[in-house]
């Protein structure tokens, strides 16, 4: 049962009970792009370059130069597996998170003596301290700017209100005690906290927890307006599990961390300090991002000065491939919940389900299943799409389909696009709107009419049947049978 999961290790034990959900290797592997190179073929999926596939998570038990550490990749790289770990059917995950959003349970603090994340302590003042030798952080590709922490849950607090927030960010290991931190412009709460601290010429204490209960990872990916500034996403994880997330005080900074994390990095975002992301490689590239392309190295990123690293005995480093199905589920399921939340409030009962599609990395493309019940529902489907854009500002495209289309079956969605859509009649363009800077087509390098990076034309593809013609577009109806009544065997 999913209720037996309370940390990363219990999640792994749980998956062992289910066929083809987790595999391992005892062969020695190198963090220098080899882990991602292997997992691409095992189960990466998403927008990773083909060939790839949806498959099991993978545990690497023998990592070169890290004798006592393991690396886990792909925990969330299957919607089915996410459903198993959260105790929910895969196609209802958006509804599950929406319910947790509406029934939050605030985190609690436990004593440091009970915090498993502090079983082993490395202080930056220790002789020979080097985060690169403690953390088996992989490179996704050989041209990455450096080793990256891709599953680091960054926790910081508002300098004024002390309200905490948790988010996943792109973190690159740059020196023995420095990380760079990438912020998507304008949408991250911790970035707002950093700017407040810098406005007062102060550093911002920050902890980075790696390897926790899967419920915490999924709920940490909610974004405004579903979770406005001051809303702690850990309370959604508490609502999801029906019990509070346990935090503990850090050892060297005035901040909290997740008490049962495999690793915790303690540090400060340093006032006024910036660093070029590829300072060690000069490739001009960062790492593969969710749209399927390698991101451009940022020229001036905020810097975290590391004060300490704590971890459990024999820790497990959790990581992911940037463009994999893992990102799709981590980003996409909260996106679905946010859209369901806002659309249901605006027009109850009309949107039956939402899927943040894999090809959009869980962010750019949403399929909305809309039911027209009365003549006056005509046109409301497009209003629902507009609400979806408001619910998740980084969304670029919305495809609207009827209730008889399976939104999780891309062939069925494309069938609706082919037989229930006319480009000149059923397309709504909303040009010049802020979307996401990692979309390479949202740049004036793509077209001079695009004013700045991250500006896009949001588009609605209305593949719903006009209400007055629903009978004409009725799908062929087949006889219902029970397959268990038939003795079906493979032909040999």
pTM for the whole structure: 0.95
Sheet of 256-258: strand order equals 108-109, 246-249, 256-258
Which residues, other chains included, contact 492 with Cβ-Cβ below 8 Å and sequence gap of 6+?
A: none
Would you list the DSSP string of 144-158? SSS-EESSEEEEEE-
Q: Which residues of the chain have pLDDT under 50?
A: none
User: Residues 156, 205: contact at Cβ < 8 Å?
Assistant: yes
- How far apart, in Å, do the first and last CA atoms of the chain sit? 38
- In this prediction, residue 189 carries a pLDDT of 86
Contacts of 432 (CB under 8 A, 6+ apart): 451, 455, 457
Residue 202 CA to residue 121 CA, distance in Å, equals 26
What pLDDT score does 186 carry? 66
pLDDT at 230: 83
pLDDT at 259: 98
Please tell me whether residue 478 adopts helix, strand or coil conformation: coil
pLDDT for the residue numbered 2: 72
* Residue 23 to residues 11, 20, 38, 436, Cα–Cα distance (Å): 13, 7, 12, 35
133-146 pLDDT, tens digit each: 999 999 999 999 99
Q: Which residues pair with 301 in a beta bridge?
A: 275
What does pLDDT average to over the chain?
A: 96
What are 275's strand-pairing partners? 301
| Own/partner pairs, 186-192, CB within 8 angstroms, 24+ separation | 186/434, 187/223, 187/224, 187/393, 187/394, 189/165, 189/224, 189/229, 189/230, 190/154, 190/156, 190/165, 192/158, 192/229
The continuous run of DSSP H or E covering 39 comes out as helix 34-42
- Identify the three-state secondary structure at position 433: strand
Q: Taking phi first (over 0 means left), then psi (-120 to 50 degrees means alpha), and beta for anything else, what does residue 16 get?
A: alpha
Q: Which residues are catalytic?
A: 289
Q: What is the pLDDT of residues 299-313, one digit of tens each?
A: 999 999 999 999 999
Q: What residues does 353 pair with on adjacent strands?
A: 369
Buried b or exposed e, range 374-401, using 16+ CB within 10 angstroms: eeebeebbbebbbbbbebbbbbbbbbbb
Euclidean distance between CA atoms 468 and 244, whole angstroms? 50
pLDDT of residue 184: 83
Output DSSP code: residue 402: -
HEC-encoded secondary structure of 160-210? CCCCEEEEECEEEEEECCEEEEECCCCCCHHHHHHHHHHHCCCCEEEEEEE
Yes or no: say if 393 and 338 are a contact pair by the CB < 8 Å rule: no
56 with 306: CB under 8 angstroms?
A: no
Reading the block at residue 136, the tokens are 């088996």
Strands 152-157 and 164-168: antiparallel
């Amino acid at each position: 049962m999913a209720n037996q999961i309370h940390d990363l290790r219990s999640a792994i034990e749980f998956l062992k009970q289910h066929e083809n959900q987790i595999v391992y290797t005892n062969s020695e592997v190198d963090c220098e792009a080899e882990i991602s190179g292997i997992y691409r073929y095992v189960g990466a999926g998403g927008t990773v370059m083909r060939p790839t596939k949806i498959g099991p998570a993978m545990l690497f038990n023998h990592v070169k130069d890290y004798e006592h550490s393991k690396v886990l990749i792909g925990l969330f790289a299957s919607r089915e597996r996410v459903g198993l770990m959260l105790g929910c059917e895969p196609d209802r995950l958006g509804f599950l998170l929406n319910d947790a959003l509406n029934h939050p349970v605030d985190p609690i603090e436990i004593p440091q003596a009970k915090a498993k994340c502090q079983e082993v302590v490395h202080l930056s003042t220790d002789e020979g301290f080097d985060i690169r030798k403690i953390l088996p952080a992989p490179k996704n590709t050989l041209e990455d700017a450096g080793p990256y922490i891709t599953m680091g849950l960054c926790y910081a607090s508002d300098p004024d209100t002390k309200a905490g927030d948790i988010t996943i960010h792109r973190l690159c290991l740059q020196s023995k005690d420095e990380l760079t931190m990438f912020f998507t412009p304008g949408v991250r709460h911790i970035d707002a906290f950093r700017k407040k601290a810098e406005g007062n010429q102060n550093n911002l204490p920050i902890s980075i927890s790696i390897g926790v209960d899967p419920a915490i990872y999924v709920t940490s990916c909610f974004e405004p307006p579903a979770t406005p500034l001051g809303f702690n996403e850990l309370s959604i994880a508490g609502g999801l599990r029906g019990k509070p997330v346990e935090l503990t005080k850090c050892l060297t900074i005035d901040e909290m961390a997740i008490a049962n994390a495999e690793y915790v990095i303690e540090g400060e975002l340093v006032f006024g300090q910036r660093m070029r992301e590829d300072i060690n490689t000069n490739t001009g590239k960062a790492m593969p991002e969710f749209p399927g392309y390698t991101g451009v190295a940022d020229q001036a990123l905020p810097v975290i000065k590391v004060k300490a690293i704590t971890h459990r005995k024999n820790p497990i480093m959790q990581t992911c491939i940037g463009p994999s199905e893992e990102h799709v589920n981590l980003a996409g399921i909260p996106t679905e919940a946010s859209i369901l939340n806002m659309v249901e409030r605006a027009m109850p009962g009309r949107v039956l389900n939402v899927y943040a599609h894999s090809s959009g990395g869980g962010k750019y493309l949403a399929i909305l299943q809309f039911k027209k019940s009365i003549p006056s529902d005509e046109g409301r489907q497009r209003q629902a799409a507009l609400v979806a854009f408001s619910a998740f500002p980084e969304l670029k495209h919305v495809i609207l389909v009827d209730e008889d289309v399976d939104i999780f079956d891309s062939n069925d969605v494309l069938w609706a696009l082919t037989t229930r859509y006319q480009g000149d009649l059923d397309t709504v363009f909303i040009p010049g709107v802020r979307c996401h800077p990692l979309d390479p087509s949202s740049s004036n390098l793509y077209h001079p009419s695009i004013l700045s990076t991250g500006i896009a034309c949001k588009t609605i593809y209305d593949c719903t049947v006009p209400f007055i013609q629903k009978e004409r577009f009725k799908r062929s109806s087949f006889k219902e049978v029970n397959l268990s009544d038939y003795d079906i065997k493979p032909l040999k």
